Amino acid sequence: MTAQQTTGTQSSARLGRDDLARLIASDIAPGSYVNLGIGQPTLVADHLTPERGVVLHTENGMLGMGAQAHGEDVDHDLINAGKIPVTELPGASYFHHADSFAMMRGGHLDVCVLGAFQVSAAGDLANWSTGAPEAIPAVGGAMDLAAGAKQVFVMMTLFAKDGSPKLVPECTYPVTGLGCVTRVYTDHGVFLLDRRADGSVRLVLREAHGITVEELRRRLGVPFEVASGV
Amino acid sequence: MITIAEDAAEAVGQVLDGSTVLLGGFGNPGQPMELIDALLDSGARDLTVVNNNAGQADAGLALLIKERRVAKMICSFPRQSDSWHFDEAYRAGEIELELVPQGNLAERLRAAGAGIGGFFTPTGYGTVLAEGKETRVIDGRGYVLEQPLPGDIALIKALRADEAGNLVYRKTARNFGPVMAAAAARTVVQVDELVPVGGIDPEHVITPGIHVNTVTVIPTASGEAALKEIA
């Protein structure tokens, strides 16, 4: 439990991508094993200082992944899941694909951070397909990460370009996994999804940025509780 | 006993039309490019190919697809910025696609090599990729039954083999190599270096020679740099 879970905050401006990445990084417990999804979630790595001891996993078969490699540091046998050259940190290890996904599916990763098209109030995640008929489907490791990590953090904008909310009563896009999301980090605020013993989910606004709780209630089609202090 | 082949063509040999071919590699690391070129030259067709992706740019698997030699692709992530040959074949209805979540793909290969008749996985439960598959709720959690995925032949790349067929890989080039080697009836490996029996510390062997049939030495730029590093 971090302090921010119980004491909500509110700021006047919405969070930029970098601020959001910093916020997520600060919420990851020291010593965690973490997988950062392709795209925006990789920004979180920039804010994980070495003294935190967070170990990054890349699903193509490595723990202890370092920063992106440049120039002479590029090794053609060392890439991340996004196929970008990376570096290895002291203490790194390599393993084959089945072991890598067993690590994930077996619940050994503490946190994964994924992008999303939509998250439902029940914690269903949609991030792999828009369901467009002409699109060629591709899933990669998204479903494995959603099903496997102990905590699934979603990093996304709260509203789509057309203004429609991405936190929804039920996903309209094809789902990646059911009831898997534990937190949603957005430019306008952070939502916690607490699963009750009966399987239902309590959705709590932990902090809001650049938007009032009243406007959030009006624009989101889902009911939510508000943490004290927000 | 393994066979040491003179070159890629001899190593790949005759691949029957309609074979299921397991191709190692994730991105460039671990891609047995020269073996895939030899497969292309061999003329085999109506292939079912298993790889994480569906070919990149104008090389290797992408060329097999361009030449319409692949009837079916089993992969997790076919669509990339440079997967134009697959995209074209798919849109023309000239290639079948079986889309499998990446971890299920790896585990199906592992199951085939390990003699497992199928397994229940939480990955994909409740999604369109589980449609038509048997499901089960175990301890309150939903699982999907996935089938093993054996191959007729595996083409993989390793850094080094000894003459007993024991393999050592390099960094993230290991990826699918070990599970594909075990999952195929015949496994062909290209390596940068072949050493005598005893030349690899038994504690360091990643794929034991029992899973390997044929080895051929094909020096590559990445392997050369790596071998210089450890010499």
**pLDDT, tens only, B43-86:** 999 999 999 999 999 999 999 999 999 999 999 999 988 999 99
Q: What's the gap in Å between the CA of A175 and the closest CA on chain B?
A: 6
Which residues of chain A from 4 to 23 reach within 8 Å of chain B, CB to CB?
none
Paired tokens of A31: 């010593």
> Which residue in chain B has the smallest CA separation from A149?
B123
- Closest-approach residue (CA) in chain B for A198: B140
At A89 the three-state DSSP class reads strand
**Is the Cβ of A79 closer than 8 Å to some Cβ of chain B?**
yes
Count of CB pairs separated by less than 8 Å, A with B: 150
Contact present, A84 and A45 (Cβ < 8 Å): no
Residue A9 has a pLDDT of: 67
Percent of chain B residues past pLDDT 70, beyond the cut: 99
CB contact, 8 Å: A104 with chain B?
yes
Whole-number average pLDDT of chain B? 96
Q: Do B173 and A77 touch (CB under 8 A)?
A: yes
Q: What is the pLDDT of residue A8?
A: 54
| Cα–Cα distance, A61 to A119 (Å, whole number) | 28
- Judging contacts by C-beta atoms under 8 Å, the chain B residues touching residue A101 are 102-103, 106-107
pLDDT tens per residue, range A134-153: 889 999 999 999 999 999 99
Confidence of residue B1 (pLDDT cuts 50, 70, 90): confident
Q: Residues 6 or more apart from B120 whose CB is under 8 A from it? A: B136, B138, B143, B144, B145, B146
Q: How many CB atoms lie within 10 A of CB B35?
A: 28
Instruction: Say how far apart CA B193 and CA A75 lie, in whole Å.
Output: 18
**What's the CATH superfamily of A9-226?**
Glutaconate Coenzyme A-transferase (3.40.1080.10)
Q: What's residue A2's pLDDT?
A: 43
pLDDT band at A5 (very low <50, low <70, confident <90, very high): very low
A59 is catalytic: yes
Every domain of chain A and the residues it spans:
9-226
* Mean pLDDT computed over B171-190: 98
Report pLDDT for A134.
84
Nearest to A61 by CA among A32, A31, A102, A105: A102
pLDDT of residue A133: 85
pLDDT in tens, A15-44: 999 999 999 999 999 999 999 999 899 999
Contact B121 A95 (CB under 8 A): no
Of A62, A77, A141, the CB nearest to B102: A141
Q: What is the pLDDT of residues B121-139, one digit of tens each?
A: 999 999 999 999 999 999 9
Quote the pLDDT of residue B231: 62
Among B51, B102, B207, most A C-beta atoms within 10 A, so best to mutate, is: B102
Contact partners, residue A88, CB within 8 Å, separation at least 6: A62, A64, A65, A66, A78, B171
Report yes or no: A197 at the B interface, CB cutoff 8 Å.
Answer: no
- The CA-based diameter of chain A, rounded to the nearest angstrom, is 55
Q: Which residue among A77, A138, A144 sits closest to B171, beta carbon to beta carbon? A: A77
- Cα of A106 to nearest chain B Cα, Å: 10
A66 touches chain B (CB under 8 A): no
pLDDT tens readout for residues A182-203: 999 999 999 999 999 888 999 9
The shortest C-alpha distance from A144 to chain B (Å) reads 5
Distance, CA of A210 to chain centre: 21
The pLDDT score that the predictor gives to residue A6 is 41
Hey, how many other C-beta atoms are within 10 angstroms of the C-beta on B133?
Answer: 12
B19 by Cβ neighbours in 10 Å (0-12 / 13-18 / 19+) ranks as: buried
Beta-strand relationship, A62-68 and A151-156: unpaired
Q: Look at B172 and A79 and tell me if their CB atoms are within 8 Å.
A: yes
The DSSP code for A68 is E
Chain-centre distance of CA B165, in angstroms?
Answer: 17
Distance (Å, whole) CA B74 – CA B51: 7
Domains of chain B and CATH, by start: 3-117+150-230 (3.40.1080.10)
